[in-house]
Structure 1
Amino acid sequence: MAALLEAINIKRKMYFEFENAPFYCLESEISTPTARGGQTLVRLKMRNLITRAVFDKTFKAQDKFKEPDLELDEASYLYTDGDGSYFLDQASFETLTLNRDMVGDALDFLLEGSILQIHKFNGNPIGLQLPAQVELEVTYTEPGVRGDTASGAVTKPAKLETGIEIKVPFFIKQGEKIKVSTETHEFAGRA
């Protein structure tokens, strides 16, 4: 039997099951009563891992949740077509299909053969987890011109090999590999 978690023990970045769906805790706030006999309440900002919806909900401190049957399996990205995105499970060598909602904006960072983590709930794929940073090549950017920094423009737009466009420092050149944060979609350094 899966362990039970009390609402008061759920912290940021923890997973729990609520109403037969897996959730990820984004924020946890505990409010203790000032009056005698009042109940301690826990407000959780949580993301449904299946629907990707984010909302706040308040629970009593002693409310219990199951630990979700979540797995993180390593997979490599194969390709995307009209039916979805395809990944190869690195353990079972089974092809997994994720629809557009499950993939979200991850395609901005995926190249054929990229290794990432696939979330599975009760054995079924429900989404993916990208690394914190990915290395991508700059396919187009204007050359940096000496004196551009005088106007305060220390960044310029650059198009990357996946098609995403981000702001990069003016010294980055076309053909260079850079690191990009998958969370903020921002330049994170040279590769």
Structure 2
Amino acid sequence: MVIQMDGRNVVVKDVQVQTASSRSGNTLYKVRGRDVVSKQKFEASFKGDEWVQTVDFERRPVQYLYRDADGCTFMDRESYEQYTFDSEALEEELLYLGENLEGIYALVADGMPLGIELPATVVLEITETAPAMKAASASARSKPATLNTGLVVQVPEYLAQGEAIKVNTLTGEFMSRA
């Protein structure tokens, strides 16, 4: 979602909802995001009855091309136009970006790229973890595993190096084998 606050466009990355326990209490919405122009982090709290102005934007399917010193470059799959984002603007998404990742969308308003939207799950390969235990069950303990993008997740003990796994992009948690 993109909202407008004090004349600035803000891409919303996370919303936390706090419901009051009393009858007269208001629900609070804590919003975290990033300013589109200045790339500054944005945090604010809103009561349940407050209005915020949303910004109309377009979701364009894009392909991840490469990463360099300037940032990450994506190509629009329909118009072949290229969008470059600063690495700081995509700091949370970078750990999920891999080659041939399908389902990425660029959020574009008035021809200006605002951010990217990742698919709900991504398939990544385990590059480093403790050796697999043959007697480990699926509900047993977990161990840390480093994936090919640098992301570290907790995985079940039966997984070994070189295996592909599905990771939830919203929570950053292991879901299943790929």
Pairing of 1:48-59 with structure 2 (within 5 A) = 48-50=33-35, 51-58=40-47
TM-score (norm 2): 0.76
Compute the displacement of 1:17 (Å): 2.8
Aligned residues: 168
Equivalent-residue separation in structure 2 for 1:83 and 1:48 (angstroms): 21
Residues 174 and 45 of structure 1: CA distance in aligned 2, closer, same or farther (over 3 Å)? same
The aligned residue for residue 45 of structure 1 is: 30
Is residue 2:132 matched to residue 1:144? yes
Compute the displacement of 1:165 (Å): 2.2
> Partner letter of residue 159 of structure 1?
T
Contiguous gaps of at least 5 residues in structure 1: 1-13, 35-40
> Partner letter of residue 43 of structure 2?
V
Residues 52 and 182 of structure 1: CA distance in aligned 2, closer, same or farther (over 3 Å)? farther
The aligned residue for residue 11 of structure 1 is: none
> Partner letter of residue 69 of structure 2?
G
> Partner letter of residue 114 of structure 1?
L
Structure 1 contact 102–126 (Cα < 8 Å) conserved: no
Structure 1 contact 22–121 (Cα < 8 Å) conserved: no
Residues 89 and 26 of structure 1: CA distance in aligned 2, closer, same or farther (over 3 Å)? same
Is residue 2:86 matched to residue 1:68? no
* Aligned-residue CA RMSD (Å): 3.1
Pairing of 1:134-173 with structure 2 (within 5 A) = 134-146=122-134, 154-173=141-160
Structure 2 contact 11–115 (Cα < 8 Å) conserved: no
Equivalent-residue separation in structure 2 for 1:129 and 1:112 (angstroms): 16
The aligned residue for residue 96 of structure 1 is: 83
Is residue 2:116 matched to residue 1:131? no
Equivalent-residue separation in structure 2 for 1:48 and 1:167 (angstroms): 26
Is residue 2:15 matched to residue 1:26? yes
Structure 1 contact 102–128 (Cα < 8 Å) conserved: no
Structure with higher Rg: it is 1
Compute the displacement of 1:83 (Å): 0.7
TM-score (norm 1): 0.71
Compute the displacement of 1:131 (Å): 1.4
Q: Per-residue CA shift, 1:78-101, capped at 9, x if unaligned? A: 111111111011121011100022
Equivalent-residue separation in structure 1 for 2:157 and 2:18 (angstroms): 42
> Partner letter of residue 46 of structure 1?
V
Q: Quick check: which one's helix share is greater?
A: 1
Equivalent-residue separation in structure 2 for 1:29 and 1:159 (angstroms): 33
| Paired-residue identity, % | 31
Equivalent-residue separation in structure 2 for 1:121 and 1:103 (angstroms): 17
